[in-house]
Amino acid sequence: MRISEAFQAALAATPGVDLLSYDDLSSGLALTACGRGSCGREELDRLAARAVEGFALVAGTPLPPGVDAGAFGSCLIGFGPGGAEVYARSPAAPGEAVSARCVPGTPLLPSVRAVLGLAFRLAEGE
């Protein structure tokens, strides 16, 4: 399945998300995106830049025993008065991420699971 098709399917199945982008973390740029309604280039690159900041924040964290260091930092949820965003990547492709803008008022956990699952599927080439 192509990335754009995977994004269309994920967007349709995840009512809590209205914008998905596929980001290159080394350049901080969105490579492709899919959203309900219009989504400007600035908004996509802002999402990608926040993903880069977020993953840099968690790098090298000394974790207590029992925490899966390989999985830690695979998924981040940024939030502020303007809403919430999810950034997810697979350990198999740490230089790429899926970023998502959440629909205000919707539960976060289903969106987090959907975005993380999408990132893992893309990294595994499904």
Partner 1 sequence: MRAAGTFTRALRLPAGGRADALLALLAGEGAAEGHLLPPDPTARLARITREIDETALPRALLLRTGAVEIGRIAVARRRVGAVTLPGLPDEPPTARSLAARLARIAAEPGAIALTVLRAAADPLATGTGCPVADLRAALASTASHGSLERLTARLLSRDAARLTWAGQDVAAQFSGAAEWRPALMHLSAAFRTAPWRGPGAEGMAIPLSGQQVVILARQDRQGLAAVLPLVFGLDAIGAWLRGEAS
User: Which one, 4 or 79, has the nearer CB to partner 1?
Assistant: 79
User: Which one, 37 or 80, has the nearer CB to partner 1?
Assistant: 80
User: Which one, 82 or 125, has the nearer CB to partner 1?
Assistant: 82
Closest approach of partner 1 to the CB of residue 16, in Å: 10
Closest approach of partner 1 to the CB of residue 100, in Å: 14
Secondary structure string (H, E, C) spanning the chain: CCHHHHHHHHHHHCCCEEEEEEEECCCCEEEEEEECCCCCHHHHHHHHHHHHHHHHHHCCCCCCCCCCCCCCCCEEEEEECCEEEEEECCCCCCCEEEEEEECCCCCHHHHHHHHHHHHHHHHCCC
Closest approach of partner 1 to the CB of residue 7, in Å: 22
Q: Which residues of this protein are in contact with partner 1, per CB under 8 A?
A: 53-54, 56-58, 60-65, 67-68, 71-84, 104-109, 112
User: Which one, 74 or 99, has the nearer CB to partner 1?
Assistant: 74
